[in-house]
Amino acid sequence: MTLSLAHLSDPHLTTGVLGGAPALALRRALGRVMMLDPRPDCVVITGDLTDHGRPDEYEALREVLGHFPLPLHLIAGNHDDPAALRAAFAGTPFLDGDASRRRDRDRDGDAAAPDCQYVVEHPALTVVVLQSTVPGAPGGLLGADRLAWLDQALAARPGFPAVVCLHHPPLPIGIPLLDGMRLADGPGLAEVVARHPHVVRVLAGHVHRPVVAPFAGTVLATAPSTYLQSGLRFDEGAPGYLPEPTSFLLHLLPDGSTTWVTHAVAVSHAAAPVF
């Protein structure tokens, strides 16, 4: 049986006269996901769901997502407001995951899942979502409490492959301006992930580019934006955001294999049909 997860990021939805293009780009990306055969087991969007974190932008996001039929899980980014995100999506399958399991774990005395962190137990895959945002700052931080929560979440289901999702990449990617706003405690995340060999991917966004690197015994992958890509600039200047072709990543365990692979799936320049 093939197992797969579609990895989208950074749609930056907004409203008003500037809202049409990012919304259309996200709709097109989700439509491309729907044309995959077989369809993915689930979809994640690794942050910067909106451009300003306003309630009206989350309403626009809800309209775009509509009744998307596949399991889809949202991650908060530095452009998001976690409280507004939770207010808009609390109790929906887009955010809370298996809420009953969360309540059971909290009653058992485990660390409570703070903010927009949660665990989703799919039949053959565990998705663990972290919140790495710092109020008023572009960079990210998890801290001791969230790392302890992650350690417990991963230990709860060691017999299944797990993916860890957050917005800020925990490694430098070679673009200095973006590296200055990566996850500040990346080594702490690496220490936790390394204790759990069933983690098959660490998934991030934030940099608006597809990047893959070894990390803590597994693989770190950042997904491109569904809207605009950051320029590939290796000096200290601002990379800027460009209308380069859009795509998303598909993380795949082929039938009969024990090795996960990652495909880049074209969207804006795809010859394949869009749902």
Surface-to-core class of residue 107, CB atoms within 10 Å of its CB (0-12 exposed, 13-18 middle, 19+ buried): exposed
Predicted confidence at residue 14, as pLDDT, reads: 98
What is d(CA 21, CA 136) in angstroms, rounded to the nearest whole number? 26
In 3D space, the residue among 138, 130, 128 whose CA is nearest the CA of residue 114 turns out to be 130
Predicted confidence at residue 237, as pLDDT, reads: 87
Q: For residue 48, is pLDDT > 70? A: yes
Domains of the chain and CATH, by start: 3-266 (3.60.21.10)
Least confident range of 34-48, 105-119, 127-141, 253-267: 105-119
pTM of the model: 0.93
Predicted confidence at residue 109, as pLDDT, reads: 42
What is d(CA 76, CA 165) in angstroms, rounded to the nearest whole number? 10
pLDDT in tens, 146-161: 999 999 999 999 999 9
Mean pLDDT of the chain: 92
Q: Is the dihedral of CA 44, 46, 50, 56 positive or negative?
A: positive
Residue 128 banded pLDDT, cuts 50, 70, 90: very high
In 3D space, the residue among 73, 207, 173, 210 whose CA is nearest the CA of residue 131 turns out to be 73
Predicted confidence at residue 60, as pLDDT, reads: 97
Mean pLDDT of 166-170: 98
**Quick check: bond before 38 cis, omega within 30?**
yes
Residue 114 banded pLDDT, cuts 50, 70, 90: low
pLDDT in tens, 54-96: 999 999 999 999 889 999 999 999 999 999 999 999 888 898 7
**Helical residues (DSSP H) of 3-94, grouped into ranges:** 20-34, 55-65, 82-89
Neighbours of 30 (CB within 10 A): 25
Predicted confidence at residue 101, as pLDDT, reads: 44
pLDDT in tens, 220-248: 999 999 999 999 999 988 889 999 999 99
Q: For residue 102, is pLDDT > 60? A: no
Predicted confidence at residue 272, as pLDDT, reads: 66
Predicted confidence at residue 9, as pLDDT, reads: 98
Predicted confidence at residue 105, as pLDDT, reads: 40
Residue 115 banded pLDDT, cuts 50, 70, 90: confident
Percent of the chain with pLDDT over 70: 91
pLDDT in tens, 173-229: 999 999 999 999 999 999 999 999 999 999 999 999 999 999 999 999 999 999 999
